[in-house]
């Protein structure tokens, strides 16, 4: 099998010759590897996957415009933005949307946590009350057609060595991008009309982004499900207010023609019995303690076998600090268990951390090939 055939087959739940080895490689590691942030993240991402012999699951073929409200700037939806420097490592970006009726404001904080990685977190959200949401429904233009040629270019560079898998948001995450999570978790109780309206509106816009990616040739879409973790919502809330949203979101996108990966890199143990109902093609990340609470054996026996599992190698500490021998032993242990279930992709729980020794990544890759054969 080619690497592409192998990944597409395992995503469909079909038999393969070996477990695909497809770690999450992001822009921070690509920049570190090449000593520059001014590199082509698609081309160089493919090069790194090939350098280690991985099966390519390229996640850097994203359209930046989809995350920028300025693409919707129009007469009744005037979007302006300004940046405020806090110190050498921190800054804030304020986005103001002016409609004929009111002003909406969002503030995002940014922090350079490593030489090549910037994290962001909203400080102030656009939707503070029901009237703010009504402005979106009344005045926000439809998602415009964007240039998604980055996906086609990624596929050309990847060839038979893997798949293109850009990012979107899951259904609940789509709402959490514009409303403070603490408020969003109370909305079903104190403002169910607002909650229902947002659940109907924002996932639809995400699905329009998905449609454009799929039209451009994306093989799989990686959907963020990391806001509704087991720590934040619990199984009762998830089942009552979120599960049906995610089921619908997943089904519609799969019916468009792409595979669907649902990503929760945080605590998930209490939600595992519910996840099978979503019917995603791939569930990720199986994050073990201390950065998550997933027990690998429990996940293997709990998630429906028609769903491919992906992850479980801790990249924050273990992959950075373990010896190559310890890494080989850990990979062997995981694959010995996973192969009995089948439908598994050997992956990290999230993207490679900067400072990970090359010999450790090499040990991960070689062990995956050595012990992954069926």
pLDDT of residue 167: 99
Q: How far apart are CA 153 and CA 42, in angstroms?
A: 8
DSSP 52-112: HTPPEEE-----GGGG-GGGG-BTTBEEEEEEEE-SSSEEEEEEEEE-SS-EEEEEEEEEE
pLDDT of residue 245: 98
Which residues have CB under 8 Å from 109's CB, separation 6+?
86, 90, 91, 92, 120, 121, 122, 123
Give the confidence band of 249 by pLDDT, cuts at 50, 70, 90. Answer: very high
Cβ distance 127 to 110 under 8 Å?
A: no
**CB atoms closer than 10 angstroms to residue 267:** 17
In CATH terms, the fold of domain 3-63+147-371 is TIM Barrel (3.20.20)
**Model confidence over 33-86: pLDDT tens digits?**
999 999 999 999 999 999 999 999 999 999 999 999 999 999 999 999 999 999
**Model confidence over 118-158: pLDDT tens digits?**
999 999 999 999 999 999 999 999 999 999 999 999 999 99
- Kindly state the DSSP code that residue 35 receives in the 8-state scheme: T
Q: How far apart are CA 55 and CA 162, in angstroms?
A: 6
Q: How far apart are CA 279 and CA 248, in angstroms?
A: 10
Q: Where are the domains of the chain?
A: 3-63+147-371
- Kindly state the DSSP code that residue 221 receives in the 8-state scheme: E
SS (H, E, C) 280-309: CCEEEECCCCCCCCCCHHHHHHHCCCCCEE
Q: How far apart are CA 23 and CA 351, in angstroms?
A: 7
Which residues have CB under 8 Å from 116's CB, separation 6+?
27, 28, 29, 31, 32, 37, 354
pLDDT of residue 54: 99
Q: How far apart are CA 202 and CA 44, in angstroms?
A: 33
Give the confidence band of 185 by pLDDT, cuts at 50, 70, 90. Answer: very high
- Kindly state the DSSP code that residue 310 receives in the 8-state scheme: E
Give the confidence band of 165 by pLDDT, cuts at 50, 70, 90. Answer: very high
Question: How much is the average pLDDT of 291-308?
Answer: 98
pLDDT of residue 70: 96
**Model confidence over 307-329: pLDDT tens digits?**
999 999 999 999 999 999 999 99
Question: How much is the average pLDDT of 9-19?
Answer: 98
């Amino acid at each position: 099998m080619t690497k592409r055939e192998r990944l597409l087959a395992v995503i469909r739940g079909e038999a393969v010759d070996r477990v695909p080895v497809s770690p999450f490689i992001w822009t921070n590691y690509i920049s570190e590897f090449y000593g520059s942030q001014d590199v082509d993240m698609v081309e160089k991402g493919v090069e790194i996957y090939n350098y280690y012999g991985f099966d390519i699951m390229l996640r850097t073929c994203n359209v930046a415009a989809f995350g920028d409200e300025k693409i919707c700037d129009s007469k009744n939806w005037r979007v302006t933005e300004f940046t405020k420097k806090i110190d050498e490592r921190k800054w804030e970006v304020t986005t103001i949307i002016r409609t004929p009726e009111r002003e909406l404001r969002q503030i995002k904080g940014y922090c350079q946590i490593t030489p090549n990685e910037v994290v962001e977190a909203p400080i102030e959200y656009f939707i503070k009350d029901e009237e703010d949401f009504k402005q979106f429904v009344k005045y926000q233009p439809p998602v415009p057609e964007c240039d998604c040629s980055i996906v086609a270019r990624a596929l050309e560079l990847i060839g038979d060595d893997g798949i293109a898998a850009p990012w979107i948001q899951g259904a609940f995450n789509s709402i959490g991008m514009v409303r403070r999570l603490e408020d969003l978790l109370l909305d079903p109780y104190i403002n169910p009309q607002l909650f229902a309206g947002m659940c109907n509106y924002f996932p639809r816009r995400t699905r329009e982004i998905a449609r454009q990616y799929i039209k451009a040739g994306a093989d799989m879409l990686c959907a963020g499900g990391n806001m509704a973790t087991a720590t934040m919502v619990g199984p009762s809330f998830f089942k009552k207010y979120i599960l049906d949203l995610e089921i619908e979101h997943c089904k519609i996108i799969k019916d468009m023609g792409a595979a669907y990966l649902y990503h929760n890199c945080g605590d998930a143990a209490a939600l595992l019995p519910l996840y099978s109902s979503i019917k995603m093609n791939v569930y990720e990340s199986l994050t073990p303690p201390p950065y998550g609470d997933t027990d690998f054996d429990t996940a293997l026996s709990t998630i429906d076998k028609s769903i491919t599992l992906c992850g479980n190698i801790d990249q924050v500490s273990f992959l950075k600090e373990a010896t190559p021998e310890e890494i080989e032993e850990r990979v062997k242990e995981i694959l010995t268990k996973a192969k009995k279930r089948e439908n598994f992709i050997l992956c990290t729980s999230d993207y490679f951390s900067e400072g990970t020794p090359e010999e450790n990544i090499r040990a991960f890759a070689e062990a995956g090939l050595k012990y992954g054969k069926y």
